[in-house]
Structure 1
Amino acid sequence: MDAATAKTIIDIHCHTAGIGAGNSGCFISPAMRRSWRYKVFLKAFGVTERELLQEGDGLVMRRTSESLAASQRVSAAVILAVDGAVDDKGELDRARTEMFIPNEFVAAETARHPNLLFGASVNPLRRDALERLEQAAADGAVLLKWLPSIQHFDPVDRRLTPFYLKLKELGLPLLTHTGSEKSFTKAQNHLADPERLRLPLSLGVTVIAAHAASNGRNQGESNHRRFLRLCGEFPNLYADISALTQLNRLTHLQRLLKHPELFGRLLYGTDMPIPNTAAVTPFGFPNRLSPRRILEISRIANPWDQDVALKEALGVPEQIFSNAQSIIRL
């Protein structure tokens, strides 16, 4: 990638966190707070609970923006809100919600930082889902993010048809988790089966399969195979390559890159802050990279620059790093 294009990459899959500090409206369940994951995520975001209580949850995005500004390769990142589960009245169900990061908080904080973009999240079973979707678009959302396995709804539910049609009308891509989910204390992984995306795809929604359905199985078949079959049927199905260099997915990126016909539909993402943990390291690829290259990549201090360098070394072509600009709603 030459110098002229070095700073144009957009990371479409970046998380934030919040505990409710500074009236953010964020929420983390007691079970999640007791989990080992809580401390790991705080450390990965580069904050402590005390700092959040003192400065507010916006501190996470401020530090994300600062780190991103130091990158020589990545110009912007989509920060993803996370809606919760809802009850039978279509209201937020805190008892079944492990993490809640409201649209209003993410929209307001990303507006403070030119290199951060607003990724909205709306549980489609909310009583006012269509109004929330329209508001998110008005507030500058570039895409909509779902985690059906923890938000407890089925993408194939026909009741969601008006929501899908509104997504299409607004020109908002749907970035939805596919494959097994292990970042939370519990998940209904069958709801992240890529085959359950046939309804929005058939209605013409631009769907981005987060992690390219790289792990897990449904009905005795790998989610990866199910994803590939859908790609052959629906040209409006895309995927991101976030998390595909994690130690528990070492062969997944290589397997996906065996399909050059999909290169125009693969988008760059990091799943930040995961690259700030031991789950992602160039030392995990001694059979793919030379010792010298591993050391070179490991010495890159900026997490985005290291992530880009690792994926380039593993064979990700330049095209994939630039695809997002023509897909997300900029």
Structure 2
Amino acid sequence: MHAGTTTIDIHCHTAGIGAGGSGCFVSPALRGSWRYRVYLRAFNVSEQELRNEGDGLIMRRISERLSRSRLVDAAVVLAMDGVVGDNGRLDRSVTEVYIPNGFVARETSGYQNLLFGASVNPYRGDALARLDQVVAAGAVLLKWLPSIQHIDPADTRLIPFYLRLRDLGLPLLTHTGNEESFTRARNELGDPERLRLPLSLGVVVIAAHAASNGRNGGESNFRRFLRLCSEFPNLYADVSAITQANRIGHLHRLLRHGELHDRLLYGTDMPLLTTGIASPWFHAHLLSPARLVRILKNRNPWDRDVEMKRSLGLPLPVFSRATALLRMPDTHEVDHANP
């Protein structure tokens, strides 16, 4: 990453099918779903290309596309740990997507504009050691998707994990709200109220998507998120996915709460930006015709996203806040051991 970076997309996905020895896999159920074909197109790859060139091709395509952005300097590319069984080991039979830390750490180390976002399921028998390893490998944050990884953030057995996370200074980016990108999900685990435990222990938590959909405990997840924000100054949120068709109006609701503006960080949820689900047309009623045309003419997905979110009122400081919150490595040349 070059010096002087100010805008970082903290929420960018990658994927893989195990090609080139990546260690990635996608479950048979997901590969048989229509979603799999959509994701391949969104990543601008074919399955045959991955078989020929390896899963690292996706990372190269992300970096190349991002390098053509005028407005975004770097992206945090996210690993994805799987479901862990009672024996403390990965359970492939119920894991839909697995993207190892080692693969993401090695690949991101080769690109100036990509940063390593780690993922460690805290139920792993060696979870604390894995945390130390990903930090040594240059991780800037830790990513969870509880409803898919079957992680209960409120589980008191996770206290030692949270304390290590806090002491390492590694922010926890965790999905809040319902999850609709997989074939099944335990959406009760995306309840923001379940984050009360790590927040009370001093962990910096970033609520992915700002709890923009779903309900728990008889109220909206967003209301539950707002209550937590009033209690914990270490709770933040990213603005990834909140302009998508299935979350129309949420950015406006979020921005009505001026007290939250200093808690927001820029993210995209790439590659979903390229599927059409976040088209500027969904917000045409809020944009002048000239501004809408200008956004539509922008072919780079990051630049289009930034321009649209700016036009919808997202404050400029949101786009440059990540560097102060992430665990930024002193240099991008770090030891990428295979955790």
> Aligned residues, how many?
326
Give, in angstroms, the shift of residue 56 of structure 1: 0.2
CA deviation after TM superposition for structure 1 residue 8, in Å = 2.2
Aligned to 1:82: 80
**Structure 2 counterpart of 1:25:** 23
Larger relative contact order (C-alpha < 8 A, sep ≥ 6)? Answer: 2
Give me the whole-angstrom Cα distance separating, in 2, the residues matched to 1:29 and 1:13.
22
Residue aligning to 1:153 = 151
Partner SS, residue 263 of structure 1: helix
Q: After superposition, where does 1:317-328 map in structure 2 within 5 Å?
A: 317-328=315-326
Does residue 166 in structure 1 map to residue 152 in structure 2?
no
CA offsets, 1:228-266, max 9 Å, x none?
A: 000000000000000011011110001000111111110
1:68 is paired with a residue whose SS is helix
- Give 1:237's aligned residue: 235
Aligned positions of 1:266-281 closer than 5 A: 266-281=264-279
User: Residue type of the partner of 1:310?
Assistant: M
CA distance in 2, matches of 1:282, 1:290: 12
Task: Give how far 1:291 is off.
Answer: 2.1
* Matched position secondary structure for 2:284: coil
Provide the rounded CA distance (Å) in 1 between the counterparts of 2:186 and 2:248. Answer: 24
1:139 corresponds to which residue? 137
Q: Distance in 2 between matches of 1:252 and 1:139?
A: 36
* Secondary structure in 2 matching 1:181: coil
292-301 or 265-274: bigger deviation:
292-301
CA offset digits 1:31-50 (Å, max 9, x no partner): 00011100000000000000
Q: 1:183 maps to which residue?
A: 181
Alignment match of 2:121 (pick from 116, 120, 123): 123
Unaligned runs of 5+ in 1: none
- The 5 A counterparts of 1:107-122 are 107-122=105-120
Q: Which residue of 1 aligns with 2:334?
A: none
TM-score normalised according to structure 2 size? 0.95
CA shift in 2, pair 1:34/1:139, >3 Å: same
Mapped to 2, the partners of 1:194 and 1:151 lie a distance apart of 16
Q: Provide the TM-score with structure 1 as the length reference.
A: 0.98
Question: Is residue 6–residue 74 contact of structure 1 (8 Å, CA) maintained in 2?
Answer: no
Cα pair 1:8 1:73 within 8 Å, conserved: no
Amino acid at match of 2:67: A
What percent of counterpart residues are identical? 66
- Match in the other structure for 1:49: 47
CA distance 1:294–1:14, change in 2 (3 Å): same
Letter in 2 for 1:269: G
Structure 1 residue ranges (4+ consecutive) displaced by more than 2 angstroms after TM superposition? 5-8
Question: 1:297 corresponds to which residue?
Answer: 295
Q: Deviations over 1:145-167 (max 9, x none)?
A: 00110111211000000000000
Distance 1:185 1:298 in 2: 31
